[in-house]
A and B are shown apart, each in its own frame.
Chain A
Amino acid sequence: MAHIVIIGNGISGVTAARHIRKLSDKKITIVSAETDYFFSRTALMYVYMGHMKFEHTQPYEKWFWKKNRIELKKGFVKTIETKSKTLHFTEGDTLQYDQLIIATGSKPNKFGWPGQDLDGVMGMYHKQDLDNLEKYAPNNKVCKRAVIVGGGLIGIELAEMLHSRHIPVTFLVRESSFWNGVLPEGESAMINREIINNGIDLRLGVNLKEIKADGNGRVKSIVIAETGEEIPCEVVGLTAGVSPNIGFIKDSDIETGRGVKVNRFLETNVSDVYAIGDCAEQHEGIGMRRPIEAVWYTGRMMGETVAQTICGNRIPYKPGHWFNSAKFIDIEYQTYGWVWAEPKDNEARFYWEHDRGKKCIHLNYDKTTREFIGINTFGIRMRHEFFDRVLSEKRSVDHVLEHLADANFDPEFYKLHEKEIVAKFNRENDTNIQLKKKNWKRIFQTS
C-alpha cells in the first residue's frame, strides 16, 4: 500500500489528504511542527479577540482523523532525501514515503531591519505568533502601544486584534494609501477612513528604519525612516507580506525559486514529489494569476487537484475565475474576476459609493466589447455563483447591472442599493439599463 506523506497540516495539505482518502485506500500521514490538529489560520485573529477559543478554529473533531485513517505526526522536517524517499526530522527520526506532498505554507517576511529578532517583535501567521502576542500584548497595561509594519491584509487584521483589547496601535504603511497595489483608489481610501475612524494611528507612505531594544533584549521603540520619529512601543508586528516556508528544502534535489517550483500538475522536478498551496511556485503564472498564490482558496483548490493526480487521474491545476474575500474591521470585501488597482488600456470602470462611505462597488469591463471583467464589492455581499456564471458566459456589464438583484447576497430585509447603482451607471454612460426583479429561477438555474 502506497504511503502518502504530506508536510504541512494547513488547508492545502488537509484538503489533499481528505480527497486522497475519498479516492483511495492509500496510507496517509500528515506531518506538522506547528500544531497537533488542523486549524483555520485565518481565524487565529478571533482567538485573540475572544470571539472563539482555539479549539473552535479546528474544523474537524479528533475522531475524524482516526475514522478516516489519516495519521498525524508532530515533527519538524530537517531534510528531504529524495533518492531514498526519506524525511529526516530534527528529533533524529525518519519517515519513508512513496509520494510526498509539500504543503508548508508561508512565513512572514523580514527585510533585515535592525532589531527584527528582538523579544516582542512578531509576525501574525503561526499559532506560535498568537501565543507570543498573548504573552507580550495581553492588555493595554503590559503593552501600552504596538506598532505594525506593513499594510496588507494581515497588518489590518493585527491592528483590529490589538484594537479589540484597547491597545493603541500605530500602523506604518509603505504605500501612499492602504493596500493600493491591489485596491483602486476609491476602495483604498474607504479603508483608510475605516482604520482612522477606529482610532488607529495610520501613517501612510512611511518605512521602518529600525527597532530599538531596551537593556533586556526587548522592544523599546521604533524609528521611522522618513521622519526619524521614534515611537515607544512594547510590541512590533511585522506584516509586510509572506513568502514560501521552504528553508528545509533548499539543500535537497528539489528545485526551488522563491517557492517550490512546480509544473501545471503540481509536480516538482523530482518524481513523486508534489508541492501545493502557498509554498508552490508555478513556472509561469496561470492566466492573470501570480506564480505564487498565498490565498486560502487556491491552497484548497490545489489540494483538491493534486489528490486526483496522486490517485491515478493525472490532471493539471486549472483554477476557475479568480475570487477572493476579506474583512477590513467592519467592512466586508469580496471580489470576483479582476479589478486591478489601475485600469488597463482596454478597460472601463464604474464606481459607486454609498453616501455614508462604508459600501461601494467597482465594476471593470471592456471598453469596446463591454464584456464584464470583474467586480469589487465592499459592504454588500454578492453571489459567487452569479459572477462565476457571468464570467464563464462572457456576459456584458449591462447584463450584470440588469441582474444585480439576483447577485445580491445580503441578509433578508437589508437595504438594497441596486436601483441607485443602475441609475448612476445610466447617468454616467448615457445608457438605459433597466434593473430586473430578483428571480429564483435565474438564481438557482432551476428552469
Chain B
Amino acid sequence: MKYIQNIGLGIFLTGLAIFTSLIFLGKYELTPELFDATINSKGIKSELFINEIKSEVLGKTFTNPFSFSDKIVTAIESANESHKQNSEWDKVIWDKPHSFSYQIAKHAGTGLIKENKGLFWWLTFGLGILGALMCIIPNVITLGPAGIKNNGVWLNPATNRGWIGWFAFVFLVGFYLLLYFRPDYIVNWTYIVDPFSESISGNMASQWFLYGFLYCTVMTVMAVRMYIKYRHNKYQVLRTTSVLFFQIVFAFLIPEILVRFEKPWYDFKNAFPLDYDFFYSWSLDELISSGGLGLFILVWGILLTLVIVPVMVYFFGKRWYCSWVCGCGGLAETLGDPYRQLSDKSLKAWQLERWLVHGVLVFALVMTGFTLYAYFSGAEGLLGVKTQTIQDIYGFLIGSIFAGVIGTGFYPIFGNRVWCRFGCPLAAYLGIVQRFKSRFRITTNGGQCISCGNCSTYCEQGIDVRAYAQKGENIIRASCVGCGICAAVCPRGVLKLENGPEKGRINPTEILLGNDVDLMDLVNQK
C-alpha cells in the first residue's frame, strides 16, 4: 500500500512539474489580422500604441510569455503616459495592462500546447488527479479502522509548518499572484481547459475559467480524502458532499451556462458582501439590461443578504453557509483540511481577528455606500474621494490579496481559514447574527471534559474550544463555522453541534456538573 502511495506521489509531482513548466513553453506570434481585429473590437484609438506594437511585436516570434507581455505592457504604459500628458483622454487605454496583454496573448499563442490541448490536459490535470487518488485511496487501509487518525500530523513536515509546508506556501502564493496580477503569463494553462470552456459556455477559457475548473478538481479530489478520513462520521460526509455540490453546480456550471445563453455570469449562492461587486454600476447595469432573469438576480441577491442569510443563521448557525455552501469554505474544508491545526489559538489572535474582520465589513459597506451614491447621483465620488479609487483599493487589498493570496496561499502556515476568520465581510455579518440571535451552539456535555486540547488544536477558526468545554460552558462564538471537527476529535464525547432553544444557550458556569449539587447552586447563582 505504501508502495502504491509512493508511486502516486511520484505521478502527482510529475503532473505538477509539467503543469508548472507549461508557463515556459510555446510561442507567441501576433499577426496583423489578429492585431487589427483586437484594435477594432477594443476600439483602440492610440496610434502611439499601434505603431509601437507594429514595430516591436508584429511579425516577431516570442518564445516565452514574459518578453511578449513586457513589450505589450510597455507599449500601453508609454502610450498612456503621453496621452495623459496631452490630455488626450479618449486615446488612453483604460484596460489593466496585463489583462489586455492576456487577451492578445491568448490569441497570439501557438505551438505544442495550443495544438495538443487534450494531451496536455492528461499530462497535467490527468496525472495530478491520478497520482493524488493513488496517494489518497489506500488510506482506507493504511489509516486503519475508521476513526480519528491524526497520527503524525505534528510530526510531518507537510502539516507542521515544516519544509514541505513552506514549499507549498511559496507555490500557492506564486500561483495566486500570477492568477490575479499576471494572467498573461499563464495563457498556456488556459489552453488546456479550452475544450471544457467551449463545451459549457461556448467561449475560450479565461484565467477565471481555469481557476474555477482547477478549484472544482482540487475540491473533488480532496473531498475523496475527506470521505475516507471521516467515513465514520456522517456529519462530515454530508457536509463535504454539500460544499462539493454547491461549488460545482452553483459556482461553476450554472454561471458558465448562463453565459452560453448570453445572460450575466452569476453565482446564486454568493451573497453580498462576499460578492463585493454586486452593486457596482457595471453589475447593476448588466442585470437591469438582462430582462427578467437579470431582475430576478437583482432581487434574489438583495433578498439573500437581507433575509435568507440571517434567517438561516438564526435556525442553523452560520455553518449552513460557511461550511455547507460557500466556495471559500468548500476549499478550506477539502484542500485545507490537512492544515486546520495551524490556526493561531492565542488571545492576541482573537483580538486581531475581531478588529480585522469587522474592519473589512465596515470597509465593504462604506465602499458600497459610495458605489450606490455614485450610481444614483451620477457623481464621481463623495467628500472628495472617488468611488473608483475606493473600489480599486478594495478589489486589490481585499478581493485579491486577502481573499486569494493570503486566504489560500497561507493555508500551510496559518491554517485553512485565514480569509474566513480574519477577512471575510460576509462571515463577519453572519457572525454577528450567530453570536446574538441564533439557536446554534456547541453544547458541552456536563463535566466530561479532560482539557486534552484536541478540540482547540483542530479548530480551523482558532477558537480555544477547550477554554469553554473545561468550564462546562457551551461554545457561542461569532467565528464558529460549525465544521464539527471539534466534536469529531473529542475523545470523551463532550461536544455536540446543535440547534436548540435560545434560552439557556449561553450558560457560564463556575462549578461543573458532577460535583456537590448545593455547591453548584451556591456558586453558579452568584
Chain A interface residues toward B at CB < 8 A:
11, 19, 22, 40, 42-43, 46, 49-53, 56-59, 61, 63, 164-165, 197-198, 296-297, 300-301, 304-305, 308, 315-321, 323, 325-327, 329-330, 332, 334, 381-385, 388, 392, 409-415, 440-441, 443-446
Q: Which residues of B contact A384 (CB under 8 A)?
A: 445-448, 513-514
Determine if B450 and A304 form an interchain contact, defined as CB atoms under 8 angstroms apart: no
Q: Which residues of A contact B484 (CB under 8 A)?
A: 411-412
Determine if B145 and A53 form an interchain contact, defined as CB atoms under 8 angstroms apart: no
Determine if A409 and B454 form an interchain contact, defined as CB atoms under 8 angstroms apart: no
Q: Which residues of A contact B470 (CB under 8 A)?
A: 59
Query: Given that A61-B347, A384-B445, A385-B446 are known contacts, is A412 also in contact with B498, CB under 8 Å in the complex?
Result: yes
A61-B467 Cα distance, complex, nearest whole Å = 11
Q: Which residue of B lies closest to A308 (CB)?
A: B519
Q: Which residue of A lies closest to B155 (CB)?
A: A50
List the 3 closest pairs (A to B, CB-CB), nearest first. Answer: A384-B446, A330-B147, A381-B493
Q: Which residues of A contact B155 (CB under 8 A)?
A: 50
Determine if A51 and B144 form an interchain contact, defined as CB atoms under 8 angstroms apart: no
Determine if B519 and A318 form an interchain contact, defined as CB atoms under 8 angstroms apart: yes
Interface of B is mostly: loop
Query: Given that A381-B445, A413-B235, A415-B234 are known contacts, is A444 also in contact with B453, CB under 8 Å in the complex?
Result: no
Q: Which residues of B contact A197 (CB under 8 A)?
A: 145
Task: Report B475 CB to chain A, min CB distance, Å.
Answer: 14
Contact with A along B427-444 (1 / 0, CB 8 A): 000000000000000010
A392-B497 Cα distance, complex, nearest whole Å = 26
A320-B500 Cα distance, complex, nearest whole Å = 26
Determine if A440 and B501 form an interchain contact, defined as CB atoms under 8 angstroms apart: yes
Partner of A329, one of B147, B451, B488: B147
Determine if B504 and A446 form an interchain contact, defined as CB atoms under 8 angstroms apart: yes
Determine if B514 and A334 form an interchain contact, defined as CB atoms under 8 angstroms apart: no
- 24 sampled A-B residue pairs with Cβ under 8 A: A11-B451, A40-B452, A43-B450, A50-B152, A50-B153, A56-B457, A297-B447, A300-B512, A304-B519, A305-B515, A305-B519, A308-B519, A315-B516, A320-B513, A321-B514, A323-B514, A327-B492, A330-B232, A382-B493, A384-B445, A385-B513, A388-B446, A392-B517, A414-B235
Task: Report A325 CB to chain B, min CB distance, Å.
Answer: 4
Q: Which residues of A contact B162 (CB under 8 A)?
A: none
Interface magnitude class on chain B: 35 or more
Q: Which residues of A contact B443 (CB under 8 A)?
A: 409
Q: Which residue of B lies closest to A387 (CB)?
A: B446
Q: Which residues of A contact B498 (CB under 8 A)?
A: 412
Determine if B447 and A334 form an interchain contact, defined as CB atoms under 8 angstroms apart: no
Q: Which residue of B lies closest to A295 (CB)?
A: B450
A382-B443 Cα distance, complex, nearest whole Å = 12
Cβ of B40 within 8 Å of any chain A Cβ, yes or no, is no
Cβ of B271 within 8 Å of any chain A Cβ, yes or no, is no
A106-B355 Cα distance, complex, nearest whole Å = 45
Task: Report B91 CB to chain A, min CB distance, Å.
Answer: 61
Cβ of B466 within 8 Å of any chain A Cβ, yes or no, is yes
A414-B501 Cα distance, complex, nearest whole Å = 21
Determine if B496 and A411 form an interchain contact, defined as CB atoms under 8 angstroms apart: yes
Q: Which residues of A contact B513 (CB under 8 A)?
A: 320, 384-385, 388
Query: Given that A52-B453, A381-B496, A440-B500 are known contacts, is A318 also in contact with B516, CB under 8 Å in the complex?
Result: yes
Query: Given that A304-B515, A318-B518 are known contacts, is A444 also in contact with B151, CB under 8 Å in the complex?
Result: no
Task: Report A397 CB to chain B, min CB distance, Å.
Answer: 21
Known: A40-B453, A61-B346, A411-B233. 10 other contacts (CB 8 A): A51-B153, A59-B451, A165-B151, A198-B145, A304-B511, A320-B517, A334-B448, A384-B447, A384-B514, A440-B500
Determine if B447 and A414 form an interchain contact, defined as CB atoms under 8 angstroms apart: no
Q: Which residues of A contact B493 (CB under 8 A)?
A: 325, 332, 334, 381-382, 409
Contact with A along B332-355 (1 / 0, CB 8 A): 000000000100001100000000
Q: Which residues of A contact B289 (CB under 8 A)?
A: none
Which residue among A43, A197, A198, A329 has the maximum number of chain B CB atoms within 10 Å of its CB? A43
Q: Which residues of B contact A440 (CB under 8 A)?
A: 500-501
Task: Report A263 CB to chain B, min CB distance, Å.
Answer: 15
Cβ of B389 within 8 Å of any chain A Cβ, yes or no, is no
Cβ of B487 within 8 Å of any chain A Cβ, yes or no, is yes
Determine if A409 and B496 form an interchain contact, defined as CB atoms under 8 angstroms apart: yes
A411-B494 Cα distance, complex, nearest whole Å = 11
Partner of B500, one of A57, A58, A410, A443: A443
A392-B153 Cα distance, complex, nearest whole Å = 43
Determine if A59 and B517 form an interchain contact, defined as CB atoms under 8 angstroms apart: no
Determine if B512 and A325 form an interchain contact, defined as CB atoms under 8 angstroms apart: no
Q: Which residues of B contact A327 (CB under 8 A)?
A: 491-492
Partner of A50, one of B156, B446, B504: B156
A412-B499 Cα distance, complex, nearest whole Å = 10
Cβ of B154 within 8 Å of any chain A Cβ, yes or no, is yes
Determine if B447 and A51 form an interchain contact, defined as CB atoms under 8 angstroms apart: no
Query: Given that A59-B451, A332-B493 are known contacts, is A52 also in contact with B514, CB under 8 Å in the complex?
Result: no
Task: Report A230 CB to chain B, min CB distance, Å.
Answer: 29
Q: Which residues of B contact A304 (CB under 8 A)?
A: 511-512, 515, 519
Determine if A446 and B446 form an interchain contact, defined as CB atoms under 8 angstroms apart: no
Q: Which residue of B lies closest to A301 (CB)?
A: B515
Determine if A50 and B234 form an interchain contact, defined as CB atoms under 8 angstroms apart: no
A318-B521 Cα distance, complex, nearest whole Å = 13
Q: Which residues of B contact A412 (CB under 8 A)?
A: 235, 484, 496-498
Query: Given that A57-B452, A59-B467 are known contacts, is A305 also in contact with B516, CB under 8 Å in the complex?
Result: yes
Task: Report B229 CB to chain A, min CB distance, Å.
Answer: 13
Determine if A42 and B501 form an interchain contact, defined as CB atoms under 8 angstroms apart: no
A105-B235 Cα distance, complex, nearest whole Å = 39
Which residue among A19, A304, A382, A411 has the maximum number of chain B CB atoms within 10 Å of its CB? A411
A52-B456 Cα distance, complex, nearest whole Å = 10
Which residue among A40, A51, A330 has the maximum number of chain B CB atoms within 10 Å of its CB? A51
A61-B347 Cα distance, complex, nearest whole Å = 8
Partner of A441, one of B147, B152, B466, B501: B501
Contact with A along B134-154 (1 / 0, CB 8 A): 000000000011111011111
Q: Which residues of B contact A22 (CB under 8 A)?
A: 510
Determine if B146 and A319 form an interchain contact, defined as CB atoms under 8 angstroms apart: no
Partner of B457, one of A52, A326, A330, A382: A52
Q: Which residues of B contact A325 (CB under 8 A)?
A: 448, 450, 492-493
Contact with A along B216-242 (1 / 0, CB 8 A): 000000000000000011110010000
Determine if A56 and B453 form an interchain contact, defined as CB atoms under 8 angstroms apart: yes
Determine if B452 and A319 form an interchain contact, defined as CB atoms under 8 angstroms apart: no
Q: Which residues of A contact B514 (CB under 8 A)?
A: 297, 301, 319-321, 323, 384, 388
Q: Which residues of B contact A42 (CB under 8 A)?
A: 450-452
Determine if B147 and A409 form an interchain contact, defined as CB atoms under 8 angstroms apart: no
A190-B146 Cα distance, complex, nearest whole Å = 16
Determine if B235 and A50 form an interchain contact, defined as CB atoms under 8 angstroms apart: no
Within 8 A of A (CB), among B82-116: none
Q: Which residues of B contact A165 (CB under 8 A)?
A: 151-152
A297-B518 Cα distance, complex, nearest whole Å = 18
A443-B445 Cα distance, complex, nearest whole Å = 12
Determine if B454 and A46 form an interchain contact, defined as CB atoms under 8 angstroms apart: yes
A317-B516 Cα distance, complex, nearest whole Å = 7
Q: Which residues of A contact B235 (CB under 8 A)?
A: 411-414
Determine if B446 and A323 form an interchain contact, defined as CB atoms under 8 angstroms apart: yes
A383-B151 Cα distance, complex, nearest whole Å = 28
Q: Which residue of B lies closest to A408 (CB)?
A: B496
Q: Which residues of A contact B450 (CB under 8 A)?
A: 40, 42-43, 296, 325
Which residue among A329, A384, A443 has the maximum number of chain B CB atoms within 10 Å of its CB? A384
Q: Which residues of A contact B454 (CB under 8 A)?
A: 43, 46, 51-52
A429-B35 Cα distance, complex, nearest whole Å = 89
A204-B497 Cα distance, complex, nearest whole Å = 40
Determine if A50 and B447 form an interchain contact, defined as CB atoms under 8 angstroms apart: no
Q: Which residues of B contact A58 (CB under 8 A)?
A: 453
